[in-house]
Amino acid sequence: MTSTIESSATVDLTAPTALDVRTLDPTMHRVVTGDRPTGPLHLGHYIGTLANRVRLQNLGVPVTVIIADYQVITDRAETGPLRNLVRTLIAEYLAAGIDPDRSTIFAHSCVPALGQLMLPFLSLVTDAELHRNPTVKAESLASRRSLSALLLTYPVHQAADILGLGGDLVPVGRDQLPHIELARVIARRFNDRYGQVFAEPQALLTSTPSVLGIDGAKMSKTRGNTILLGATADETAALIRSARTDSLRHITFDPQSRPQVANLLSIVGALSGRDPAVVAEQVGDGGAAALKTLAAEVINESLRELRHQREELLADPSYLDGVLLDGTSRAMAVAGDTLDQVRHAMGMDYLS
């Protein structure tokens, strides 16, 4: 068994050699993605992965979205107001364009087969590999507690999600790449030992995978620097006005030396399908104030319909619960089938 993790196989949508999502055969792929239900979704989710999920779904690729509730307790003891959060996430997915008739949304804890897959998968990785995982390292530092075994095995958990549901394309932010890489390693090692069962999943990156928050650091729930999808237009404008920029008057797109200004330009670019450098030229001597006004307008305009739908959906929790029930039974069927194949490959199919 090799003990090194090889370089990441990534499909970067911006790279010229990238797999072209417009020409891929939708029937040949299955997208699996997920979110930890630690808070409502923000603009970083929307630009980084959510818009991409919807795009893939609309191309005809089956999309499965996991609400990774067990991942909440990787770095904290409290599960939080999960029932409400799960409903909120479902409302946000649907409002963003996830269609429950074509796509599957479910909560991890409802599908036991995914947990069971972890056991054989844990035998395929070493503790050294898990300790090397950059996300595990970073999260362990951020949580200021000693590493729980669930946090240490988080990438294995996630590999079970992806492989258990037959995912071969995983639209994620750049920070998730090491996890996808480990899922590939696990698939390969399982196939080598027990015979071909799993396809090696590929990560799908968007052109703006990581959006900065209003303080200039990466936008994330834990930092409290987010612009929530559910924020009002006024709240959004106020947050953008308070965003850190720099003291240079003339606006230019320079991600290296002007990250905060570049971030606002990238957000405008991503949401309006324009090149951020062109947006910069347009703002020019208008300075940070004009850039912020433009950014708030573009964000509010882009999210207007989503926000409206979100409110309507949240007013109907029984509908949201029905979507969850439906998604759960579909996920159970797929994951149960994978587990049967795994049992068969490992010679554990005594009962079938």
- Applying CB under 6 A, the residues found at the interface with ligand TRP are 32-36, 66, 68, 71, 158, 161-162, 170, 172, 176
Query: What's the min distance (Å) between Cβ of 261 and ligand TRP?
Result: 27
Q: Which is nearer to ligand TRP, 68 or 199 (CB)?
A: 68
How many C-beta atoms lie closer than 10 Å to residue 331's C-beta? Answer: 26
Distances (CA, A) of 318 to 84, 167, 262, 327, 330: 12, 29, 42, 14, 19
Q: Which is nearer to ligand TRP, 162 or 251 (CB)?
A: 162
Tell me whether strands 202-205 and 10-12 are parallel, antiparallel or unpaired.
Answer: parallel
Sign of CA dihedral 211, 200, 71, 108: positive
Give the number of C-alpha atoms closer than 13 A to the C-alpha of residue 138, restricted to the C-beta side.
7
Both structure tokens of 28: 């040949």
Minimal CB distance residue for ligand TRP: 34
Query: What's the min distance (Å) between Cβ of 256 and ligand TRP?
Result: 27
3-state secondary structure of 145: coil
Q: What share of the chain is helix, strand, coil (3-state, %, to 5)?
A: 55, 10, 35
Query: What's the min distance (Å) between Cβ of 28 and ligand TRP?
Result: 19
Query: What's the min distance (Å) between Cβ of 176 and ligand TRP?
Result: 6
Query: What's the min distance (Å) between Cβ of 104 and ligand TRP?
Result: 13
The residue type found at 9 is: A
Sign of CA dihedral 159, 162, 165, 167: negative
Q: CA 35 to CA 92: how far, in whole Å?
A: 12
Q: CA 294 to CA 280: how far, in whole Å?
A: 11
Q: Which is nearer to ligand TRP, 136 or 243 (CB)?
A: 136
Angle at Cα 25 formed by Cα 24 and Cα 26, nearest 5°? 100
Query: What's the min distance (Å) between Cβ of 230 and ligand TRP?
Result: 18
Helix H or strand E encompassing 9: none
Query: What's the min distance (Å) between Cβ of 77 and ligand TRP?
Result: 18
Query: What's the min distance (Å) between Cβ of 79 and ligand TRP?
Result: 15
For the chain, strand residue ranges (E) read: 10-12, 31-35, 63-67, 104-107, 169-171, 202-205
Q: How many residues does the chain have?
A: 352
For 156, phi then psi, to 5°, come to -75, -40
Quick one: DSSP state of residue 218?
B
Q: Which is nearer to ligand TRP, 179 or 310 (CB)?
A: 179
The residue type found at 190 is: F
Q: Which is nearer to ligand TRP, 72 or 288 (CB)?
A: 72
Query: What's the min distance (Å) between Cβ of 170 and ligand TRP?
Result: 5
